[in-house]
Amino acid sequence: MRLQEQDHDVFRVLSAERRRQREGVELIPSENYVSEAVLDAMGSIFTNKYSEGYPGRRYYGGNENVDDVERLAQDRAKRLFGVPHANVQPYSGSPANLAVYVATCQSGETIMGQNLPDGGHLTHGWKVSVTGTYYRSVPYHVKPDGYIDVDEVGRLAREHKPKLIWCGATAYVRELPFEKIAAVADAVGAFFAADIAHVAGLVLAGVHTSPVPYAHIVTTTTHKTLRGPRGAMILVTEKGLQRDPDLAEKIDRAIFPGLQGGPHDHTTAGIAVALGEAMQSGFKDYGRQIVANAKTLAHGLIERGFTLVTGGTDNHMMLIDLTPGGPGRGVFLQEALDRVGITVNKNTIPGEPSSAFYPSGIRLGTPAATTRGMRQPEMERIAAWIALVADAIKDYQLPTDQPSRGAVLRDFRRAIQENRHLEAVRADVREFCLKFPVAGT
């Protein structure tokens, strides 16, 4: 029995989500749309199987087909990225990164990563993450211009002698300085791990430097710019094996049995499909178009008076700094854009004057819009809509006294629902989006 007949409640929610995705512009830079083929693999009968272990070394029987699809995903990852070893079993980026710690560090040893409010990732040693409590985290920062302070990385590394240094980010709009940070790691004898979750697809397209010649270990999610299912991979490079010939085995043991049980075989199949798509010639064109769209959108926003962190972008994302209108305004613009069908996320900016709950920035990017076939003219139109929405809410400010914030936000949310100008923009966005299909909807 199919879902529509079996469970009306779940079917109703899925239908609403299909409609939301069709009728809105997805600008969250960590999101994308998978192909029909990836959806088929994710919804396949591989969902039924349990496969603890690795190909040829399983703890369960009946895994000959799972072995084939996992080997296929591994081989495609190794060929695409030019590495000797790939583990495709991590459930997502966070356990993939944790496995790197388990494979290279002992609890309490010093690690370094980019500070979270400066655009880094939670799993690179932020204080509320297990990576910042089980290990001694020494974060590095960006300079006032928004670029990573490589001089500070070197100074901190020489002072603290970390066991592991990360380079990678969740909200960094410029090219990641893999070679420079690798030189720091080599100088102090640290393992160097590159987290390319956001830029993996751009690396394969040749529009972002590859970390493979410089890093010992590379981690990545398989969605975002790679346009696959929500999973992850850990890649061990030739440099990594030269540093430690057992590194690949240590990574594999860290994933299983160290951190995970049976892999999600349907996700492995989806990863294999996505990597096969990345091998096609059109994928490089796609990656180039993501960056071209991001630069056009950034230019359009700047022309309309927005302040962008670093003044632009090298990759797929940008950060709008809303502090010229007052601190903590990210939540207002995010929710007002949601009202018209443009999805972004509120985000901290370097030197954040407010908090992570009420940040002063907006993070947005172009992978999903590019997948739908949107190009530079559409980015110009989106920039104009964002400016219209921002102007419509310019008088709203985040109160400095916390108790009054709830009342102000309730009034704001009621006002944007009743705003006729925003309703008109919503109609325009809906009509615009329906011209650009979304796979699976």
Whole-angstrom Cα distance, residue 292 to residue 315?
Answer: 9
Whole-angstrom Cα distance, residue 220 to residue 88?
Answer: 10
Total length of the chain: 441
User: Is-catalytic flag, 20?
Assistant: no
Among 174, 230, 363, 372, the one annotated catalytic = 230
User: Is-catalytic flag, 230?
Assistant: yes
User: Is-catalytic flag, 52?
Assistant: yes
Q: Give the strand order in the sheet containing 361-365.
A: 307-308, 317-321, 361-365, 345-347
Q: Name 234's bridge partners.
A: 87, 219
Residues 6 or more apart in contact with residue 411 via CB below 8 angstroms: none
Residues 6 or more apart in contact with residue 332 via CB below 8 angstroms: 393, 396, 398, 412
User: Is-catalytic flag, 252?
Assistant: no
For residue 289, the 8-state DSSP code is H
Structure tokens at 429: 């966005």
Whole-angstrom Cα distance, residue 143 to residue 125?
Answer: 19
Q: Name 219's bridge partners.
A: 195, 234
- Coil/strand/helix, residue 133: helix
Among 31, 40, 49, 50, the one annotated catalytic = 50
Question: Which residue has 């779940």 as its token pair?
Answer: 10
Among 52, 152, 338, 380, the one annotated catalytic = 52
Structure tokens at 426: 């919503």
Whole-angstrom Cα distance, residue 99 to residue 255?
Answer: 6
Among 224, 227, 295, 339, the one annotated catalytic = 224
Classify residue 403 as exposed, middle or buried by CB count within 10 Å of its CB (0-12, 13-18, 19+).
Answer: exposed
Among 26, 70, 195, 277, the one annotated catalytic = 195
- Other beta carbons within 10 angstroms of residue 12's beta carbon come to 11
The H or E element spanning position 53 is strand 53-54
User: Is-catalytic flag, 224?
Assistant: yes
Q: Name 167's bridge partners.
A: 194
The H or E element spanning position 268 is helix 265-278
Rg for the chain, CA atoms, rounded: 22
Considering only CA atoms, which of 221, 178, 191, 206 is closest in space to residue 77?
221
Classify residue 207 as exposed, middle or buried by CB count within 10 Å of its CB (0-12, 13-18, 19+).
Answer: buried
Among 104, 131, 221, 222, the one annotated catalytic = 221
- Known catalytic residues are 50, 52, 195, 221, 224, 230
